Structure 1
Amino acid sequence: MPKDRLNTMFRGALILSVSSLVAKILSAVYRIPFQNMVGNTGFYVYQQIYPIYGIGMTFALNGFPTFISKLVAEQPDATSKSLVTRRAFHILSGLSLLLFVGLQLGAHWLALRMGDVRLAPIIDAVAWMFLFMPWLATGRGYYQGKFLMGPTAVSQLIEQTVRVGVIIMAAYFGVHRGWDDYHMGTWAMSSAAIAAICSSLIFVSFGLRHLLAPAPRPTHRLPSYRDLTKRFIIEGGTLCLVAAVVILLQLIDSFSVMRGLTRQGMPLDWAKSVKGVYDRGQPLVQLGLVVATSFSATLLPALTHALAKHQLIEFKRHTRAMVHVSLALSTAATVGLVALMPQINRLLFGSTEGTTALRIYVFSILFAALITTYTSVLQSLDQYTAMIIGIIAGLATKVLVNYQMVVHFGINGASLATVLSLAVMFGVMWLGSPEDLRQVLLESGYLIKLVLVSGAMGLVVVFTSREIRALVGLQMANSRGIAGIITLVGVLIGVAVFVVGAVGSRLFTIREWLVLPYGKRLIKSVAKGKEHH
Structure 2
Amino acid sequence: MPKDRLNTMFRGALILSISSLVAKILSAVYRIPFQNMVGNTGFYVYQQIYPIYGIGMTFALNGLPTFISKLVAEQPDDTSQALVTRRAFHILSGLSLGIFVCLQVGAPWLAVRMGDGQLAPIIGAVAWMFLFMPWLATGRGYYQGRFLMGPTAVSQLIEQVVRVGVIIMAAYIGVHRGWDDYHMGSWAMSSAAIAALCSSLIFVSFGLRYLLAPAPAATRPLPSYRQLTRRFIVEGGTLCLVAAVVVLLQLIDSFSVMRGLTRQGMLIDVAKAVKGVYDRGQPLVQLGLVVATSFSATLLPALTNALAHRQLIEFKRHTRAMVHVSLALSMAATVGLIALMPQINRLLFGSLEGTTALRVYVISILFAALITTYTSVLQSLDQYSAMIMGIIAGLGTKLLLNYQMVVHFGINGASATTVLSLAVMFGIMWLGSPEDLRQVLLESGYLIKLLLVSGAMGLVVILTSRELQALAGPMMAHQRSFAGIITFIGILVGVVVFVAGAIGARLFTIREWLVLPYGKRLIKLVAKGKEHH
- The question of a shared fold, defined as TM-score above 0.5 by the shorter chain, is answered with yes
Q: Tell me which residue corresponds to 1:377.
A: 377
Q: Give SS of 2:178's match.
A: coil
Q: Tell me which residue corresponds to 1:322.
A: 322
For 1:421-500, what aligned pairs fall within 5 Å after superposition?
Answer: 421-500=421-500
Q: Cα deviation per residue 1:81-111 (whole Å; 9 max; x = unaligned)?
A: 0000000000000000000000000000000
For 1:55-94, what aligned pairs fall within 5 Å after superposition?
Answer: 55-94=55-94
State how far apart, in whole Å, the 2-side matches of 1:480 and 1:164 are: 25
- Residue type of the alignment partner of 2:369: A
Q: Cα deviation per residue 1:178-211 (whole Å; 9 max; x = unaligned)?
A: 0000000000000000000000000000000000
Q: Does 1:524 align with 2:524?
A: yes
Quote how far apart the aligned CAs of 1:289 are: 0.1
State how far apart, in whole Å, the 1-side matches of 2:221 and 2:4 are: 28
State how far apart, in whole Å, the 1-side matches of 2:99 and 2:217 are: 32
Quote how far apart the aligned CAs of 1:528 are: 1.0
Q: Give SS of 2:222's match.
A: coil
Q: Give SS of 1:473's match.
A: helix
| TM-score normalised by structure 1 residue count | 1.00
Quote how far apart the aligned CAs of 1:256 are: 0.1
State how far apart, in whole Å, the 1-side matches of 2:449 and 2:140 are: 42
Q: Give SS of 2:310's match.
A: coil
Q: Does 1:281 align with 2:269?
A: no
State how far apart, in whole Å, the 1-side matches of 2:480 and 2:22 are: 27
State how far apart, in whole Å, the 2-side matches of 1:84 and 1:49 are: 34
State how far apart, in whole Å, the 1-side matches of 2:332 and 2:370 are: 13
Q: Tell me which residue corresponds to 1:216.
A: 216
State how far apart, in whole Å, the 1-side matches of 2:83 and 2:232 are: 16
State how far apart, in whole Å, the 2-side matches of 1:213 and 1:406 are: 54
Q: Cα deviation per residue 1:304-328 (whole Å; 9 max; x = unaligned)?
A: 1101111000000000000000000
State how far apart, in whole Å, the 1-side matches of 2:132 and 2:420 are: 35
Q: Tell me which residue corresponds to 1:146.
A: 146
Q: Tell me which residue corresponds to 1:165.
A: 165
State how far apart, in whole Å, the 2-side matches of 1:132 and 1:175 are: 30
Q: Tell me which residue corresponds to 2:128.
A: 128
Q: Tell me which residue corresponds to 1:502.
A: 502
Q: Tell me which residue corresponds to 1:290.
A: 290
Quote how far apart the aligned CAs of 1:415 are: 0.1
Q: Tell me which residue corresponds to 1:48.
A: 48
Quote how far apart the aligned CAs of 1:398 are: 0.1
Q: Does 1:36 align with 2:23?
A: no
| Structure 1 residue runs without a partner (length 5+) | none
Q: Does 1:98 align with 2:111?
A: no
State how far apart, in whole Å, the 1-side matches of 2:104 and 2:204 are: 27
- Residue type of the alignment partner of 2:364: S
Q: Cα deviation per residue 1:338-395 (whole Å; 9 max; x = unaligned)?
A: 0000000000000000000000000000000000000000000000000000000000
Quote how far apart the aligned CAs of 1:265 are: 0.5
Q: Give SS of 1:211's match.
A: helix
Quote how far apart the aligned CAs of 1:417 are: 0.3
Q: Give SS of 1:495's match.
A: helix
Quote how far apart the aligned CAs of 1:532 are: 1.3
Q: Cα deviation per residue 1:226-252 (whole Å; 9 max; x = unaligned)?
A: 000000000000000000000000000
State how far apart, in whole Å, the 1-side matches of 2:443 and 2:340 are: 31
Q: Does 1:339 align with 2:336?
A: no
| Structure 2 residue runs without a partner (length 5+) | none
State how far apart, in whole Å, the 1-side matches of 2:475 and 2:142 are: 59
Quote how far apart the aligned CAs of 1:4 are: 0.5
Q: Tell me which residue corresponds to 1:260.
A: 260
State how far apart, in whole Å, the 2-side matches of 1:76 and 1:480 are: 61
Q: Tell me which residue corresponds to 2:413.
A: 413
Q: Tell me which residue corresponds to 2:239.
A: 239
State how far apart, in whole Å, the 1-side matches of 2:147 and 2:527 are: 40
- Residue type of the alignment partner of 1:528: K
- Residue type of the alignment partner of 1:162: V
The 4+ residue runs of structure 1 with deviation greater than 4 A are none
Q: Cα deviation per residue 1:150-177 (whole Å; 9 max; x = unaligned)?
A: 0000000000000000000000011000
Q: Tell me which residue corresponds to 2:348.
A: 348
Q: Give SS of 2:76's match.
A: coil
Q: Tell me which residue corresponds to 1:251.
A: 251
State how far apart, in whole Å, the 2-side matches of 1:522 and 1:248 are: 40
- Residue type of the alignment partner of 2:448: I
Quote how far apart the aligned CAs of 1:475 are: 1.3
Q: Tell me which residue corresponds to 1:513.
A: 513
Q: Cα deviation per residue 1:390-447 (whole Å; 9 max; x = unaligned)?
A: 0000000000000000000000000000000000000000000000000000000000
How many aligned positions are there?
533
Q: Give SS of 1:35's match.
A: helix
- Residue type of the alignment partner of 1:39: G
State how far apart, in whole Å, the 1-side matches of 2:474 and 2:200 are: 53
- Residue type of the alignment partner of 2:519: G
State how far apart, in whole Å, the 2-side matches of 1:44 and 1:445 are: 43
State how far apart, in whole Å, the 1-side matches of 2:192 and 2:354 are: 29
- Residue type of the alignment partner of 1:318: H
State how far apart, in whole Å, the 1-side matches of 2:141 and 2:161 are: 21
State how far apart, in whole Å, the 2-side matches of 1:171 and 1:317 are: 48
State how far apart, in whole Å, the 1-side matches of 2:17 and 2:525 are: 29
